[in-house]
Structure 1
Amino acid sequence: MTTPPACTVIVPTYNRVGLLRHTLDSLVRQRLSAGDGFEVIVVDDGSTDTTAELAESYRDRLDLRYLYQEDQGYRVAAARNLGIADARAEVCVLVDSGVVLHSGALAAHLAAHREADGPVAVTGYVFCFNEGNEDGELITKAIDHADPDASIAEFAAQRHWLDLRETYYERYGEDLGVLTAPWLMWWTCNVSANTAQLREVGGFDEWYRAWGAEDVDLGYRLHTAGARFVLRRDAASLHVPHEKSYSGNMAAAAANYRYFAEKFDTPVAHLVPDNHFEEIEDILRSRGLAEGEVTELFGTVFRGGGAAQTEGAAR
């Protein structure tokens, strides 16, 4: 009998063959303990470039499957759900194309799950992520794709291009388990969760058809389902710069945050559209949240992404 992989890495992509190559190269370099293996599922959201051929070229170096869905617009949530449905491992690691993992990143994700008493949602560390491609040229020149571990070590030592969430961690500490809303920082460029729990809560809500909030939505449901959130700095990565529209992304995210608030219709959900993520924890703490108020504040777990998609389509 074939031994199942220790984790499944899911990489959604769309016409980003160059960025995908960097991600797959970093997966080839992963160092895991003896007996641990991993699989990679590349989910193509309708690319017209050479994504399929590139994925095929790595099958001699990775346990890789390539899945394709027709281009019907931005459907990254549906793409990730295809990967989750096809995963063979107990842990899913979600990585965006263009994210370059440290060679020890998958081992760190697995360690977090194995050290926990119950299901956890792990947040990896992401250097170089930017909102409007600021410093894009400088970052591109600074990353050594032949030795990304060295680049990560250099950026950490010099405190260059730190994770955008660094100020959040400095403000509230790194024990995410004591925070009221740790799901606000669970961004799927580099995270992991228990596969069975991902399926139990319904996966990604496929109503989200533009950039932003589909990961926060899933993180919220994982939290209400009992997942403990964990930061693993050693699950480190680099976010390779690419062209993006800050104003376009923010407009899409604003609409998505409004949908999020209406969907869950809880006090904490209604804070999301109008408050900076780093301020929401302060607002919740100012309310003196007690253990008995959790259900009132968050509501019960919302299961079934398909139901949410139906609600969204009716709006």
Structure 2
Amino acid sequence: MTIPPACTVVVPTYNRSALLRHTLDSLCRQRLAAHDSFEVIVSDDGSTDDTAQLVAEYRDRLDIRHLFQEDEGYRVAKARNAGIAYARSRVCVFVDSGVILRSGALAAHLAAHRQTSTPAAVIGYVLCFNEGNEDGDEITKSLDFADPDASFAEFTAGHRWPDIREDYYARYGEDLDALTAPWLMWWTCNASASTELLRETGGFDEAYRSWGAEDVDLGYRLREAGARFVLRRDAAAIHVPHPKSYEDNMRSAAANYRYFAEKYDTPVARLVPDHHFHEIEDILRSRGLADGEVTDRFGTVTRPIDDRDAEAQGGVRS
């Protein structure tokens, strides 16, 4: 009898083979317990570059498969759902192309799931991810691609390029399950969840056809289904900077946030389009909709772009 892998790593991609190589290299370096193994599913949203050939190069080092869907525009939700459908393990770990996992990251994700008595939604830590990638050249020059664990240690010790969610954790603490809306921080650049619960909740909503919000939407449903939200700093990753249209992505996200609010039409969902994620817990507290005192940082964060009239930018990929 074949023993199933301990986790399935789902990596959506689109014409990002150079970035994907960094991610696959980091997966080759993962250190797991002797009895654990993992599989990798590269879920391809219609690439026309050498992604398929690249994946083939790793078949002697990773339990890896390449799933391909025709390019019909931005369909990352469908790509990730394909990975969930084919997963043979009890835990799905989601990472993006160009995300370099620390060598102990998968072990940390697995530990988080094993340490909870209920299904978990785990939030990994992501260094070097900021809203505009303003330091992209400096990050790339500073990153040791041959020994990324050394870069993790250096960046962490020097407090360089911390996870953009640090302000959120400073405001509300790291016991995310005690919060009302921890799903706001469950981002699939580095996150995991119970495969069974992902399937029970319907996976990613494939109506999202542009960048932004499809992971938050699923996180919302995972919370409603009883998932416990857990932050694991040791499930760490580095986001490799790459060219993208930040303004287009923010406009796309604005439209998707409106869709999210209309879809669920709850007090917290209605806050999402017009408020920075880091403020929403405070707003809920101020309105008596969440436990806890309003923090002394309330009112200090604003959305970088507020374009309520922007239309979704189909096909914008990052």
* TM-score, length of structure 1 as denominator length: 0.91
The structural deviation recorded for 1:23 is: 0.1
Q: Which amino acid counterpart does residue 178 of structure 2 have in structure 1?
A: V
Residues 114-136 of structure 1 deviation map (CA, whole Å, 9 limit, x = unaligned): 00010010000000012222110
The structural deviation recorded for 1:4 is: 0.3
The structural deviation recorded for 1:175 is: 0.6
Task: Give yes or no for the alignment of 1:45 onto 2:8.
Answer: no
The whole-number CA distance in structure 1 between the counterparts of 2:251 and 2:153 is 35
Task: Give yes or no for the alignment of 1:6 onto 2:6.
Answer: yes
The whole-number CA distance in structure 2 between the counterparts of 1:106 and 1:29 is 10
Q: Which amino acid counterpart does residue 3 of structure 2 have in structure 1?
A: T
Aligned to 2:271: 271
Aligned to 1:162: 162
The whole-number CA distance in structure 2 between the counterparts of 1:221 and 1:286 is 24
> Conserved in 1, the CA contact under 8 Å of 2:123 and 2:191?
yes
The whole-number CA distance in structure 2 between the counterparts of 1:15 and 1:112 is 32
Gaps of 5+ in 2: 292-318
In structure 2, the residue corresponding to 1:268 is in which secondary structure?
Answer: helix
Aligned to 1:282: 282
The whole-number CA distance in structure 2 between the counterparts of 1:143 and 1:77 is 30
Q: Give the fraction of aligned pairs with identical amino acids, expressed as a percent.
A: 76
The whole-number CA distance in structure 1 between the counterparts of 2:43 and 2:134 is 28
The whole-number CA distance in structure 2 between the counterparts of 1:98 and 1:167 is 24
Aligned to 2:153: 153
Aligned to 1:136: 136
Q: Which amino acid counterpart does residue 221 of structure 1 have in structure 2?
A: R
> Conserved in 2, the CA contact under 8 Å of 1:74 and 1:209?
yes
> Conserved in 1, the CA contact under 8 Å of 2:186 and 2:215?
yes
The whole-number CA distance in structure 1 between the counterparts of 2:231 and 2:286 is 24
Q: Which amino acid counterpart does residue 283 of structure 1 have in structure 2?
A: I
Aligned to 1:103: 103
> Conserved in 2, the CA contact under 8 Å of 1:133 and 1:244?
no
Distance 1:290 1:232, change over 3 A: closer
* TM-score, length of structure 2 as denominator length: 0.90
Aligned to 1:250: 250
The whole-number CA distance in structure 2 between the counterparts of 1:86 and 1:164 is 32
In structure 1, the residue corresponding to 2:170 is in which secondary structure?
Answer: helix
The whole-number CA distance in structure 1 between the counterparts of 2:181 and 2:173 is 13
> Conserved in 2, the CA contact under 8 Å of 1:132 and 1:244?
no
Aligned to 1:124: 124
The whole-number CA distance in structure 1 between the counterparts of 2:289 and 2:32 is 41
Aligned to 2:211: 211
> Conserved in 1, the CA contact under 8 Å of 2:281 and 2:290?
no
Aligned residues: 291
Aligned to 1:313: none
The structural deviation recorded for 1:290 is: 6.4
> Conserved in 1, the CA contact under 8 Å of 2:106 and 2:235?
yes
Aligned to 1:197: 197
Aligned to 1:300: none
> Conserved in 2, the CA contact under 8 Å of 1:45 and 1:76?
yes
Q: Which amino acid counterpart does residue 134 of structure 1 have in structure 2?
A: E
What's the Cα RMSD here? 0.8
Aligned to 2:315: none
Q: Which amino acid counterpart does residue 158 of structure 1 have in structure 2?
A: G
Residues 51-99 of structure 1 deviation map (CA, whole Å, 9 limit, x = unaligned): 0000011000000011000000010000000000000000000000100
Q: Which amino acid counterpart does residue 144 of structure 1 have in structure 2?
A: D
The whole-number CA distance in structure 1 between the counterparts of 2:290 and 2:259 is 27
The whole-number CA distance in structure 1 between the counterparts of 2:148 and 2:36 is 22
The whole-number CA distance in structure 1 between the counterparts of 2:177 and 2:207 is 29
The whole-number CA distance in structure 2 between the counterparts of 1:276 and 1:11 is 27
The whole-number CA distance in structure 2 between the counterparts of 1:115 and 1:47 is 38
The whole-number CA distance in structure 2 between the counterparts of 1:154 and 1:11 is 26
In structure 1, the residue corresponding to 2:216 is in which secondary structure?
Answer: helix
The structural deviation recorded for 1:289 is: 3.2
The whole-number CA distance in structure 2 between the counterparts of 1:287 and 1:228 is 24
The structural deviation recorded for 1:286 is: 1.6
Residues 130-154 of structure 1 deviation map (CA, whole Å, 9 limit, x = unaligned): 2222110000001101111110111
Residues 213-252 of structure 1 deviation map (CA, whole Å, 9 limit, x = unaligned): 0000000000011001000000000000000111101100
In structure 1, the residue corresponding to 2:222 is in which secondary structure?
Answer: helix
Aligned to 1:56: 56
The whole-number CA distance in structure 2 between the counterparts of 1:265 and 1:130 is 29
> Conserved in 2, the CA contact under 8 Å of 1:12 and 1:45?
yes
